[in-house]
Chains A and B, each alone.
Chain A
Amino acid sequence: MSPEKDISRRDFLKTTGIAAGTLVGGGLIGGLVGYNMPGKGTATLEHGQHGTATEETGSPKAKMFFMNQRDFNILTNATERIFPEDDLGPGAKGLDVPYFIDHQLAGQYGSNSKEYMHGPFGEGAPTQGYQSRLTRAEIFKQGVQKLESEAQNRYKKSFNDLDGKQMDEILTAFQKGEVQMSGVTSALFFTLLRAATLEGAYSDPIYGGNRNMDGWRMKGFPGHQMTYITQIEDPKFQKIEPNSLGSH
């Protein structure tokens, strides 16, 4: 971007504020996305504009929700067990899935803001679905701490210091609902964790996961393509380089 444009953008923000509706075009929308990311000032706006992180812009890889590194590492290790690195490509960690989940927990997803969260809360049958009084943010926070206390109970070690097999054993216990949690079952926490891991691996990189679109690349999913009208009838499988919504 030219310095001139940079200045006008900065002036624009100074004089009109971010909520101004008149200049909404592709550029500003990019800017608004950037504005919601960690980092500072105009540089962040440019970061949003280009959709890729550069050295000087600061990285979106920072915690918005988890408050300490231990908890974040537990999340990282647990998701990596669910979706591990292998010869096909990166796992949850390499795809930045933990950052994706962390950022989601800090927003609407974490606060269940589009869901019915009024009481009374009853336990319900499995056919009646999610009935917890807790938000996803609360469930993840408790769940991650429970992964830790379960590790301490079983092995007198931090979850982060366990070997893979031990982690799997604990995750399996969560999956089966065998770990006591408050206001929610460990099985529901595990279901959320597994789903969020896949969401982070395969959502558009604009959300901070699926780093470098490698999740899509492994799977053969081309992401955002405008049209397949000329390929849909082709008898051959089409290998298409993926494209993100952030790359136009």
Chain B
Amino acid sequence: MATTLPSVDVVTVGVGWTGGIVAAECSKAGLKVVGLERGQKRGTEDFQAIHDEYRYAIRYDIMQNLSKETITFRNNRNMKALPMRQLGSFLLGEGLGGAGTHWNGMTYRFLPYDFQIKTLTDKHYGPNKLGPDYLLQDWGLTYDELEPYFDKFEKTTGISGDDKNPFSGKRSNPYPTGPMKMTPMLEKFEKAAKNLKLSPYMVPSANVSEVYKNPDGETINACQYCGFCERFGCEYGAKSSAEITVVPTALKTGNFDLRYNANVVEILKQGNKVTGVKYVDTVSGEEFIQPANVVVLTSYVFNNAKLLMVSKIGERYDPATGKGTLGRNYCYQILPGAVGFFDEQFNTFMGAGSLGVSLDDYNGDNFDHSDLDFIHGGNIALTQTGTRPIGSNPAPPDTPAWGPEFKKQSIYYYTRSFGIGAQGASMPHKENYLSLDSVYKDAYGLPLMQLTYNFTDQDRALHKYISARAADIMKEMGAKTVVPNAEITDYNIVPYQTTHNTGGTVMSLKPENGVVNNYLQHWDVENLFAVSAGSFAHNSGYNPTGTLGALAYRCAEGVVKYSKSGGSLV
């Protein structure tokens, strides 16, 4: 029997970036908030021995424990879905701060084009550019409407950047802190890009360039370029993450009760409202019911969709009929690029998670697609995040994968090679979606989330085109050997790609096109909100969290509004 606890105003499921932001804003507004986090407490003080590639980057020590919960995967509906038994393609978060504890911190704003992708694509290229299998739709919110929330997220996180990107949407303010340091590698890229008449700028970084105090009074320290950033927590408190910003802000109000080892298994519903959530204390095994006036799902893309499905809220998407919105529009990203091999040596092992120079000349609709068989594109960047010796063993083509030649080449090129990478945008396709698995279960007896996903023709064309552009830049940089990334075939869940999963619980202007409205409020259940990159109707050519942070602030505003007035916010 579950124990019923005293009711609160708001409960968040998960306390990463989105949960933290909602908790901070709601508790500042005087609402009583409970944050339920399935993982453990952790923070800067736990990262004193963090420079351990094997433990954190290879064995994924601070990421999701898959023995309890994972997803199943197949490339298409004719295949049997099988569990993702080990982490690989993406690295799910668990514990205070979620994936935001071990993120890189590249903090972009999606382009104005993204938010109106359907309207603008149709306008420029006619209504049939991609064909009916692609489920393009506008987001239900324009860039300009979201601008104040972008601004807010950047101020909370102290983002370091320059204002040199000519393709950026209008900004109300410059970045709160100056850009990161320039390095020899990055300078080379910048120069080559300029020679090619492209528009390089410093990657907007949540590894903060100087000590910064945010508007909530939280301090973020100056980045030390330690090279153990992506996949690691920061021992300096220099990488903006929920546990050093929004979480302490929420706790300071006295209105935030943060519970660890609390795995939510169901959203409880009565009539057309939710009444709270049920969770399991993963230490004692006890079950609790946490009643709340508002439930906010902040448990990342997969579990936001899963909790709605297992709680039977909303209509699940059926690819055969095209009906239902829950689980639809799952997107990912593709990674065009080119690797260069040099004889010159670079300090590749130094770096920071979001140290880099990038350009948007081939992103969004910033270039003409009339004669191309794809839309959108990708941000192209050279980043210097700190390569480490287990993970980085570059060798020129035709080098054997092991033995004397492999050893020699991979050691020689460890400091003499790097890749220019792009984040290729990903368009929704009717066959790519999330559903519930009918065979495999998690540790709490719930079905695993099932992912059906493959690359499409749009992806393959985009990948090839952008890889060639990256190779052009690499040649201009003077690499003696330039190897464009191999053309993509089928999506493979084994090698790491990006933790930029999107869709499944899409935001929309109309109820028939999505799961939540543009306040991230559920279309059918007014006191339920869901915010994650699952809210994205497609995935752009950037890292997601800048846009996600903005949506989380929008959502928090919605929760506060709703708590006063009730009813649908749109």
Which residues of A are interface residues toward B (Cβ below 8 A)?
A: 81-84, 86, 88, 91, 108-109, 112-118, 120, 122, 124-131, 168, 171, 175, 194, 197-199, 201-204, 206-207, 215-216, 218-229, 231-235, 237-238, 245
Contacts and interface: CB of A to CB of B under 8 A. Distances in A.
Interface stretch (B330-338, B341-349, B468-476, B524-532): B341-349
B224 A228 contact: yes
Contacts of A113: 67
Interface stretch (B8-16, B148-156, B276-284, B386-394): B386-394
B59 interface: yes
A117 B407 contact: no
A122 B54 CA distance: 29
Contacts of B134: none
Given A83-B402, A116-B85, A219-B389, A233 B181 contact: yes
Name B's interface SS: loop
Could you say which of A114, A168, A199, A201 has the most chain B C-beta atoms within 10 Å of its C-beta? A114
A238 B79 contact: no
Given A131-B82, A203-B53, A168 B403 contact: yes
A37 to B, nearest CB: 16
Given A202-B53, A229-B222, 19 more contacts: A88-B411, A113-B67, A114-B60, A116-B86, A124-B82, A126-B494, A127-B490, A129-B84, A129-B86, A201-B389, A204-B52, A220-B414, A220-B415, A227-B225, A228-B226, A229-B223, A232-B181, A232-B351, A233-B184
A222 B414 CA distance: 13
Given A88-B408, A203-B53, A109 B493 contact: no
Contacts of B196: none
Nearest to A84: B404
B411 A131 contact: no
B390 A235 contact: no
B84 A127 contact: no
Interface of B: 49, 51-54, 58-60, 65-67, 70, 73-75, 79-80, 82-86, 88, 181-184, 222-227, 345-347, 349-351, 355, 388-390, 393, 401-404, 407-408, 411, 414-415, 439-441, 490-494
Name A's interface SS: loop
A143 to B, nearest CB: 15
Could you say which of B66, B88, B411, B491 has the most chain A C-beta atoms within 10 Å of its C-beta? B411
Contacts of B227: 225, 228
Given A129-B85, A131-B85, A207-B54, A245 B60 contact: no
Given A109-B59, A194-B402, A122 B349 contact: no
B402 A82 contact: yes
B337 to A, nearest CB: 20
Could you say which of A114, A201, A229, A232 has the most chain B C-beta atoms within 10 Å of its C-beta? A232
A225 B226 CA distance: 7
A216 B60 contact: no
Contacts of B52: 203-204, 206, 224, 245
B66 A198 contact: no
B75 A127 contact: yes
B224 A215 contact: no
A112 B82 CA distance: 17
B184 A125 contact: no
Given A127-B490, A131-B82, A88 B407 contact: yes
Contacts of A245: 49, 51-52
Nearest to A190: B402
A224 to B, nearest CB: 4
